[in-house]
Amino acid sequence: MAPKIDPEVGCIIPEPGEWPIDPQEHVEIREDRLWVDGCFDFFHHGHAGVMLQSRRLGDELVVGIHSDEEIEANKGPTVMNLAERVAAVNACRFSSKCVPHAPYVTSLPWISHYGCQYVTHGDDITSDAGGNDCYRFVKKAGRMKIVPRTPGISTTDLVGRMLLCTKDHFIRSLTDTVQGKEGHGGEAERSARGKQMEQRIREYAAAPNGKDPYVAVHTFKSKHRSPERRRSSVVKPADNSTPTSASRDTGKGTFTPLVPGLAPRPGQRIVYVDGGFDLFSSGHIAFLQLVTALEQDLGRERGWYTATARHQRVAEHGEDYAPAYVVAGVHDDEVINYYKGINYPIMNIFERGLCAVQCRYIHAVVFSAPYTPSKTFLYSLPTTTGDEAQAQAPDAVYHGPTSFMPSTGDSDPYADARALGIFQQTPSHDFQDVNAAQIVQRILDRRVEYEERQRKKGAKGVGEGVLRREEMEREAGAERERRMREVEGMFGA
């Protein structure tokens, strides 16, 4: 039997049993169930922003994702494959359901099958290979809603940073930037931009409905300059002995709340994870999923999911909740650049932090977290302290297997967590090798295609310095090794 074809779009309308995900039978169309679709190539906070704005319009948000083949035919090559893009969308707290292989030109039979009355999209134009509006049939049917596009971020911008090795996106101090003390422009412009950034952090910290409080957000300011910032000014003792405690970063500092969010609930284990989260890829997401799954397993062992325990939580707190409360520390741009070189991170701390804030596996975020989570820092986390006398460390500190920094001896950033008996290394996963450096290499491997894509987007000077990037990547590898030895010798960190 010949497949059904959408007469307007020309795509196949699957039969029951052939839809990419359930339901396989048509469901009732509801006005509070919305559809948004797109490429969602290496996930950034602009993607989360359109999902946040869309989710605020209803109770459910179905997210369609185009296949690699359809994107290449209409737009150019993707950076991330379909499985990686699906992982990113599923990790967004504002998405209710992810539908892979959605048609590039939005099809009314597809959105109707999944019970969506309206389609949402940002206020920018998306066209197919023929230059036609991808939403023309939805608009004609009166089933389109436009939401504000998130300014200042796009896949094109990020690819440009990779190809041109620019650093002007770096932020030295997020706190100063939010307060209008750092950044380009005059005082009024910096102040306005800072307020917009703070508001965006607050919005992205919302619950799945896009409205209620959820993620707690803090910034951390160390009492001492980090080893990375002191590397050029500290003189090692003449006898080559270890520097005194006065030259060490002890982990002391001040936490400043940005967004109140929800505090840990009774019985929840407190879990700490940290990292750069650059280009917030499937590698980061799979790690966070593993942490969640491991804590769920521990929850089962301690009877968290029994009917009695669930009933008690609902009776006492009005709702059920997860067995673990995950706190994510996000490192500064300067710290990441010190270890990785070139123009890493590709996303600045604000952009990386927003990606962490919107993730469904995270309950609290600490901006500017130190590279080394010392005992003092861990004991002072806002989520683990009540009275000072009752301060305690998190129940677990998780990190994935990595060869980026040594994991033994004085150079181990997690030495204190190991000493406290709370360090846990997650097993490897399917996206283990997906990180910012690997994503950049994908761009370099197909640079001719991406340069052409950038030109079509109006990006300037994309051919300049691209070949230099590969040489810089090789140089950065040797420099990273040198700097790791330097930090180990000077600071034992």
Is the same domain home to 364 and 428?
A: yes
Instruction: Check: CB of residue 9 under 8 Å from CB of residue 137.
Output: yes
Which residue type is seen at 93?
A: R
Check whether residue 140 and residue 225 sit in a common domain: no
Q: Does residue 484 have a pLDDT over 50?
A: no
Q: Flag whether 55 is in a domain.
A: yes
Confidence of residue 489 (pLDDT cuts 50, 70, 90): very low
- Give pLDDT tens digits for 326-355: 999 999 999 999 988 899 999 999 999 999
Span 138-166, pLDDT tens digits: 999 999 999 988 877 888 788 888 888 88
Q: Is the pLDDT of residue 414 over 90?
A: yes
How crowded is the C-beta side of 338, counted as CA atoms within 13 Å?
A: 21
Please list the residues that pair with 272 across neighbouring strands. 327, 397
Contact 340, 439 (CB under 8 A): no
Would the pLDDT of 324 be above 90?
yes
Give, for 361, the enclosing helix (H) or strand (E). none
Alpha carbon distance 98, 346 (integer Å): 27
pLDDT for the residue numbered 193: 92
Name which of 161-170, 171-180, 257-266 the model is least confident about: 161-170
Residue 205 shares a structural domain with residue 354: yes
Determine the pLDDT at residue 148. Answer: 85
Residues in Cβ contact with 197 at an 8 Å cutoff, skipping those fewer than 6 apart: 177, 178, 350
Residue span of the structural domain in which 349 resides: 197-436
Residue 426 has pLDDT above 90, yes or no: yes
Of 107, 112, 133, 85, the closest CA to residue 26 belongs to 112
Cβ neighbours of residue 77 closer than 8 Å, sequence gap 6 or more? 71, 446, 449, 450, 453
Among residues 338, 356, 456, the alpha carbon closest in space to that of 405 is found at 338
Q: Which residue has the higher pLDDT, 217 or 480?
A: 217
Helix then strand count (H, E) for the chain reads 18, 14
Q: How confident is the model at residue 481 (pLDDT cuts 50, 70, 90)?
A: low
443, part of any domain: no
* Burial tier of 486 (Cβ tally within 10 Å: 0-12, 13-18, 19+): middle
Examine the domain organization and report whether 119 and 43 are in the same domain: yes
260 lies in the same domain as 378? yes
pLDDT band at 464 (very low <50, low <70, confident <90, very high): very low
- Does the pLDDT at position 409 exceed 80? no
Burial, 2: exposed, middle or buried (Cβ in 10 Å; 0-12, 13-18, 19+)? exposed
Residues 403 and 319 in one domain: yes
Q: What are phi and psi for residue 336, nearest 5 degrees?
A: -65, -45
- Of residues 406 and 389, the one with the higher pLDDT is 389
Name the one residue in this structure whose structure tokens are 């997690």. 414
pLDDT at 104: 97
301 is a domain residue: yes
Q: Which of the four pLDDT bands, split at 50, 70 and 90, describes residue 117?
A: very high
| In-domain check, residue 393 | yes
> Cis peptide before 148, with omega less than 30 degrees from 0?
no
Mean pLDDT of 406-415: 64
For the segment 286-322, what is each residue's pLDDT rounded down to a tens digit?
A: 999 999 999 999 999 999 999 999 999 999 999 999 9
Asked if residue 489 belongs to a domain, the reply is no
Is 132 in the same domain as 260?
A: no
Contact 246/240 with Cβ under 8 angstroms?
Answer: no
What band does 451 get if pLDDT is binned at 50, 70 and 90?
low
- CA dihedral in degrees (265, 266, 271, 276; nearest 10)? 10
DSSP three-state, residue 287:
helix
Select from 120, 151, 182 the last residue of a domain: 151
65/210 same-domain check = no
Q: What is the model's pLDDT at position 399?
A: 96
- Number of domains within the chain: 2
Predicted structure pTM score: 0.86
DSSP lists the bridge partners of residue 62 as 35, 97
Same domain, 289 and 353: yes
264 & 142 share domain: no
The widest CA-to-CA distance across the chain, in whole angstroms, is 85
Domain-ending residue, one of 416, 436, 456: 436
Q: Tens digit of pLDDT for each residue in 174-209?
A: 999 999 999 989 999 999 999 999 999 999 999 999
pLDDT band at 457 (very low <50, low <70, confident <90, very high): low
**Across 244-248, 251-255, 347-351, least confident range:** 244-248
User: Which of the listed residues 92, 126, 151 is the one where a domain comes to its end?
Assistant: 151
The per-residue pLDDT for 241 is: 41
- From the list 218, 213, 253, 227, the residue with the least C-alpha distance to 330 is 218
- CB hemisphere CA count around 391 (13 angstroms): 10
Residues 136 and 213 placed together within one structural domain of the fold:
no
Phi-psi region of 210 (alpha: psi -120 to 50; beta: other; left: phi over 0): left
492 in any annotated domain = no
DSSP string, 431-470: TTT-SHHHHHHHHHHTHHHHHHHHHHTT-SSTTTTHHHHH
Question: Residue 104 maps to which CATH number?
Answer: 3.40.50.620
Residue 403: is its pLDDT beyond 60?
Answer: no
DSSP H helices, 262-406, are: 282-301, 307-317, 333-340, 349-357, 375-380
For the chain, percent of residues with pLDDT exceeding 70: 82
From CA 48, how far away is CA 42, in angstroms rounded? Answer: 12
Average pLDDT, the chain: 86
Q: Say if residue 247's pLDDT is above 80.
A: no
Identify whether 484 is part of a domain: no
Predicted local confidence at residue 410, as pLDDT: 47
pLDDT tens for 67-102 read 999 999 998 888 899 999 999 999 999 999 999 999
Query: How far is the C-alpha of 271 from the C-alpha of 410, rounded, in Å?
Result: 23
pLDDT exceeds cutoff 80 at 411: no
The rounded percent of the chain whose pLDDT value lies above 90 is 68
Residues contacting 257, CB < 8 A, separation 6+: 216, 217, 218, 382
456 in a domain, yes or no? no
pLDDT in tens, 13-35: 999 999 999 999 999 999 999 99
202, 143: one domain: no
More confident residue, 474 or 486: 474
**Degrees (nearest 5) of the Cα angle 158, 161, 166?**
150
Which pLDDT score, from 0 to 100, does residue 478 have? 60
